Amino acid sequence: MYKLYGLCQSGNAYKVALLLQALNQPWQPEFVDFMNGVSREVTWRENSNEMGEVPILEDGDLRLTQSGVILTYLADKHGAYGGTTAEEKRDILRWILFDNHKFTSYFASYRFMKAFGPTAPDTNVMAWLRPRIDNAFHIVDKHLASRPYMVGDSPTIADMSLCAYLFFPEEESGYPVAGRFNHISAWLDRLRTLPGWADPYALLPGERILPKW
C-alpha cells in the first residue's frame, strides 16, 4: 500500500491523492504538521525530505518527493493518465513545469499568505502576485477553449497538477475563478467526474483552518 505524507491544506499533496484515487490504488494518508513547523526541523529534513516539503510518497522502500515526479512515477507504473505517445508525454511535462513555475506557484503563494500566513499579507507582494496569477490563468483558460483537457482528449497528470489548488474554497484565496475563467470552470466540472474524486478536505489528513486574513 502506498503511503502519502501531507496535510489537507496542501494542494501539492492533493494532486497525488487525486491520481491515487483515479488509479483505484490503496493508499494510506500520513499527517505532516506542516503548519506548526515540523518540516523546518533539522531531524525531519534529514529523515523525511531535505527540501522541507510535502508531498512524500512511499512505495515500499522507495521514497519520492516533488509532486511532478510522483505523478509521473505513478502514471508510468500503472500505465494510465500519462499520455499515450511520446509527443503527449512531452506536452504533459511541459504543462507540469508551467504549473510548478507559474500557475500553481503564484496562486498557492497568494492563497497561503491570505489564508494561513502568520501575519497579514504584504499588500505590495499581493499586488505583485495578482497580475501574474491573472496571466497564468488566462493562458490556461485560452488553451482549454478548444479542448476538454490540457493534453489530448482525456484527463492526464497535467490536469491533476494544474487543477488541485482550484478545488479549495474560494474564501481561502479571495481569488474568484467562476465568472472570469469560464473554460477553466467547465474543465473543473469535468475533472469532478474522475474516478474517486473527492474534496481535498475529505481526502487528506488534518483539520480545516479558517482563513486568517
Instruction: Outline where DSSP puts E strands in the chain.
Output: 2-6, 27-31, 56-59, 62-65
What integer pLDDT is reported at residue 70 of this predicted model?
Answer: 98
Q: Reduce the DSSP state of residue 48 to 3 states and report it.
A: coil
Crossing angle between the packed helical segments 11-22 and 67-78, to the nearest 10 degrees = 10
Distance, C-alpha 198 to centroid of its chain: 14
* Radius of gyration (C-alpha) of the chain in whole angstroms: 17
Strands 27-31 and 2-6: parallel
pTM over 0.95, yes/no: yes
Per-residue pLDDT of the chain (213 residues; tens, 9 = 90+): 999 999 999 999 999 999 999 999 999 999 999 999 999 999 999 999 999 999 999 999 999 999 999 999 999 999 999 999 999 999 999 999 999 999 999 999 999 999 999 999 999 999 999 999 999 999 999 999 999 999 999 999 999 999 999 999 999 999 999 999 999 999 999 999 999 999 999 999 999 999 999
Domains, the chain, in order of start with CATH, read 2-80+197-203 (3.40.30.10), 86-191 (1.20.1050.10)
pLDDT at 154: 98
Q: What local confidence, expressed as pLDDT, does residue 131 receive?
A: 98
pLDDT at residue 21, as a whole number? 98
| Residue for grid cell 478536505 | 201
Q: What is the pLDDT of residue 104?
A: 98
What cell numbers appear for 97 in the block?
513545469
CA dihedral 153, 154, 160, 165 (to 10 degrees): 60
